[in-house]
Structure 1
Amino acid sequence: MTDKTLVVIYDVPYADTPGGFKILWGYSGYFKQIVTLSEFFADAVVFAPRIAPEHSELEVVGESKVRFQPLSEGVHGSKTSFFRYAPHYLTHITRAIENHKHNAFFLAFVPGSMIGLCAAWKLKRAGVPYALRVTSYVGKEFGVRGGVLRNTVAAIVQPCVDFFMRRLLSNTVSFYSGKVLYAGLPGTHLPVISSSFDENIIQLHDPKPIHTPLRLLYVGMIEPRKGVLYLLEALRQLLDEGHDSELRIVGGEIGKPYRHELERRVKELQLEKHVTFVGWVPFGNRLFEHYRWADVFVFPTLYDIQGKVQLEAMAHGVPVVATDVGGIGAIVKHEVTGLLVKPGSAEALCSSLIRIKRDDTLREHLVRSGYGTATHATIERQTRIMLDHLRAIYPDFFSQII
């Protein structure tokens, strides 16, 4: 352990409650990484937007040495609210750097939101030891849902975004979620798997026989970019081809409601007897029960950073079918740890699901290889990888960490 302080600038909002801190659900995996990293420091402070504790989309994060300090009050840190609260962000980020610059290591999550971009810009000019945790492919998701207008705007905006990000990320120490965003930039740019689980949950499972009906599982946020509509269409195709199947959808909504759109599509496709909306389930045994229930985990996202839920499925011996987008290929290697399909294709999903159902040898290979990937992607292992790199880059600062 070092006697230094870890200072994290984080865009995910939190709330103070009598039982401890809460953060926006769906982002607890990243916070777990912060907590694990904090164990190597004498103190840890997270600067993030603070919102009201009665907010419906919060979950308790548990006890740790991590302390929260507000960047602003009553705001999610979204792009739409950024210009209103930008002075608060900049003031608090500047103050955080000034107050801790002599005895702290700084970590900022980029892009995430405008907060991360502001933090990266300030840290780059402050001359303090810092690293960036690059968690998104900023701008690339805008045109992912198609449409002439979206694709046209994306084609115009993306070169500008790429130019800005190259300037921002050049000559930095950056850890990416599974895939380096802009190859060839000066500085240190390293892929690190974003994990949400520790070593205790991993248990080797022998590949199990396929159930009838075939049990399909989706875990993730309920929003358009996750591609669940295509999974529903793939389920309809499976049934039409004589493959009795059922689907559990585990997850909740953040922001604009979307579940009603999926429920409407379920009725149109006459899938009421085959689809169960479970809702949000906290990380832990209740969630793990759904993984143990499943025959195949399906992640049909149209755009994503990496998808930690795929690792959770692998850790429970469940074969994975996922779309080949973003950083997902860093975890799901086609025909090694899972099957990759093109995004937005119900036919491709259906074909891969049938293949896993019919091919016992392939399924066993995917389960065992996926388990091997999961064992090397725990929070403990990935945190140690980050620390080893940081020690090499900042040897004096991290010399006390063993």
Structure 2
Amino acid sequence: MTGSRPQALAEPLYVSRPVLPPLADYVADLEEIWASGILTNMGAFHERLQAAVQRRVGVGEVTLWNNGTTALVAALAALDLRGEVVVTPFTFPATVQAIAALGLTPVFADVDPRTGTLSPRAVAERITAATSAIVGTHVYGAFCDTEALGQLAHEHGLKVVYDGAHSFARRTPVFPAGPRSLGDVTMLSFHATKLFHAVEGGALVTDDPGLHERLTHYRNFGIRSEDVVAGTGLNGKMSELHAAMGLRVLDMVDDEIDRRSALARRYVRGLEDVPGVSVIAGDGASVQYLVVRVDARSAGIDRDGLHRELRGLNIISRRYFHPLCSDIEPFSGHPSAEHLPVARRFSAECLALPLHGSMDSEVVDRICAAIAWHAAPAVRGAA
């Protein structure tokens, strides 16, 4: 596969490309919204999408939100947390920023060397009398060990929140089996970069009826009725325009999953003999991202070097998650940010490659050939 020097693609190819319905279909929805005069405040499209997401999730109770970050802040606020929250450093910054936004202290724990998800053993070492919750992120196609983390939380009287931003990029079931699979609440992201999206949006899923009720009111300023405002809240409502897009995209999700799954299998075949480059398969079900780990010692090139070389070929990969949240301000000064060797290695080695249904198999072959060429020092030296 190493062959001759790879040629650049004619146009930049990005890691993700939004799934979009036919414009005429969305315009028809907009005309219906215009005629109704209802643009937000849990209108007909919002209620239809919320019910559709509920059916696909199949567990707990769902509330829709204007984005995943707002949803995560609301989840943490509704749990009435205090003090410290043990969290993974290997996640998108919003996970940790949501904790800090509420005046809570993020305490970082290392990740599992196989999955990159929060390590229950590392979490146990970080729990103190000041700890009130655990926040884990389901990474790529891999779920956190929800049973072990749930048991830890039970033993110490803690809450558990999951950032499941990647979780919806799979056929049902969306969540792992087991009574602790949701934690107290799980967030989903419906951002335009996700396989399923509403341009901007998110959801919270919980099997706690009381928490679900609090979240329902929290997203609308805490308003319970025309005369009653109970406690705090914010404006986290999803608009009708976003919900309409979500409904259209939801109809396309399974076809997109099928196309991405075929491309992912082609990536696996194309890279299986490349030294030092391995595809992170997760549980084999999620196709939100196609991520490889680059072992510089075997590949002859490190992740950052490969990232630069691919960019020169118009293949726009993404270092994801990079940097670690424990390395960004204002969190880098916390003592828990100092010793996270497994997370640091994941952050230094992981690279997301383009994966979306509009790609064809020939492009995947060209990407694999480019990676193979750059991971073959002898061939590069002779070129």
The question of a shared fold, defined as TM-score above 0.5 by the shorter chain, is answered with: no
Instruction: Name which structure has the greater RCO, CA cutoff 8 Å, separation 6+.
Output: 2
Give TM-score, length-normalised by structure 2: 0.28
The structure with the greater share of residues assigned to strand is: 1
Give TM-score, length-normalised by structure 1: 0.27
